[in-house]
Amino acid sequence: MTDEADPLVLDFVEWVAREPRAYAEVIATWKTSCPRLTIWEDAADRGYVARETRAGLGLTIAVTTDGEKFLRTHGR
């Protein structure tokens, strides 16, 4: 991943950290047709976010402990 994408990964992790996000919402909001901009997949690959099932919400994307550290490290 290039350094250019890091701010977008940071923005994505911060967005997810605000509240539990339904998987469908993440797909709809962050999908792209550009194979070089795989922001949410990059965040998942780095361990900053993970899929989990929550009662009443179904499949969600949530920030992990590593994601919280990533946000703190970057002043978010």
The arrangement of secondary structure in 3-73, i.e. its CATH architecture, is Orthogonal Bundle (1.10)
Q: Give the pLDDT of residue 4.
A: 46
Longest Cα–Cα distance in the chain: 37
Return the pLDDT at 12.
Answer: 95
- Which residues, in sequence order, are CB contacts of 20 under 8 Å at separation 6+? 54, 57, 60, 61, 62
Question: What residues does each domain of the chain span?
Answer: 3-73
Q: Can you give the pLDDT of all 76 residues of the chain as single tens digits?
A: 444 458 999 999 999 999 989 999 998 888 877 777 788 889 999 999 999 998 888 999 999 999 999 999 998 8
